[in-house]
Chain A
Amino acid sequence: MVDPLKVSQGIAAAGLDVQSHRMRIIAENMANAQSTANTPGGDPYTRKTIVFSNDFDEALGSNLVGVEQIGKDPSPYRVERNPSHPAADADGNVKYPNVNILVEMADMRESNRSYEANLQMMKQSRSMVMMTIDMLRSS
Chain B
Amino acid sequence: MSSIYLFNIASQRSHWLAVRQETVTGNIAHANTPGYAARDVQPFEAVLQSSHLAMATSDPAHVADTPPGPDRVEAAEEDDWQTYDSGNTVSIEKELVKAGEVNSAFALNNSVVKTFHRMLLASAKG
**Interface 0/1 of B92-125, CB less than 8 Å to A:** 1001100100110011001001100110010000
Please give, as numbers and ranges, the residues of chain A lying within 8 Å of B17 by CB-CB distance.
Answer: 128
The A contact surface, by secondary structure, is helix
Best-buried of B25, B92, B106, B110 by chain A (most CB within 10 Å): B25
Instruction: Tell me whether B28 and A5 are in contact (CB under 8 A).
Output: no
A18 within 8 A of B: yes
The distance from the CB of B90 to the nearest CB of chain A, in whole angstroms, is 10
Mark A residues whose CB is within 8 Å of B.
1, 3-5, 7-8, 11-12, 14-15, 18, 22, 51-54, 62-65, 110, 113-114, 117-118, 120-122, 124-125, 127-128, 131-132, 134-135, 139
Mark B residues whose CB is within 8 Å of A.
14-15, 17-19, 21-22, 24-26, 28-34, 36, 66, 92, 95-96, 99, 102-103, 106-107, 110, 113-114, 117-118, 121
